[in-house]
Amino acid sequence: MRTGLQGKTALITGASRGIGKATAFALAAEGANVVISSRKQEALDEVAAELRKAHPEVGVLAKAAHVGDAEQAAACMDAAIAEFGGIDVLVNNAGTNPYYGPLVDLDAARAAKTVEVNQFAIVQWTSLAWKKSMAERGGAIVNIASVGGMVTEGGIGYYNATKAAVIHLTRQFAVELAPKVRVNGIAPGLVKTHLARALWEPHEERISKSLPLGRIGEPEDIAKAVVFLAGETASWMTGQTIVVDGGSIVRPSIA
């Protein structure tokens, strides 16, 4: 199937590594220009060099921005529009988890940071993309949530609460921005990323054996789903969050 992404412009947050980086490569492989953003320009420049070498046929722009900073977010959007004329795809991927432990011990500062990056940043970047480009030209938005937003789990309960919010924001924006913009989400299971390293690295073999598909996810597994939702193959989908988790939430419970 043709995705229709050739010549489009995609902006990906949290794109210096992990799912964001894999997504940038997957969209570039479909012929899309890519705008990659994260906090550190140096890391972005390295990824941009890799992208240009692998896909010299597409445009690449690396623009650092703290995902929770409104001025930096707006500057990133403006740079993308100046370079490519508009934004057709926004991938809200950036995330953080500064706290591990029970909810009753969570402090306000780390709670606020988790909400700022995982939850409100989606509102902020989506609003900017709509007002600066998509209200006129249309587009597609893909939000990276988590299967944690659908289940309970020890240690990362507040992170999961913000990801549950992402799932609802996806539905809400799908209604508010229709019919010009489609808004969908992806709920990954455990993926081999730097952010999740403490969860998978010490127990990779055991966790892999517990999954119906027998392995922990790779960033590319999620990137492929982003390409599907961003492209024409999902042209009659909006407000949905698809689970890509190797079967983790359907595996049999242990008595």
DSSP string computed for 133-152: IIHHH-EEEEEE--GGGTS-
Report the candidate in 54, 9, 56 with the shortest Cα–Cα distance to residue 32.
Answer: 9
Could you give the CA distance from residue 43 to residue 37 in angstroms, rounded to a whole number? 10
Phi, psi of 31 (to 5 degrees): 95, 10
DSSP string computed for 2-14: ----TT-EEEEES
Could you give the CA distance from residue 249 to residue 244 in angstroms, rounded to a whole number? 10
The helix/strand count (H/E) of the chain reads as 10, 7
Could you give the CA distance from residue 237 to residue 241 in angstroms, rounded to a whole number? 10
Contacts of 223 by beta carbon, 8 Å cutoff, 6+ apart: 19, 22, 23, 25, 26, 27
Which residues are designated catalytic? 159
* Three-class SS state of 230: helix
* Helices 121-129 and 157-177, packing angle to 10 deg: 20
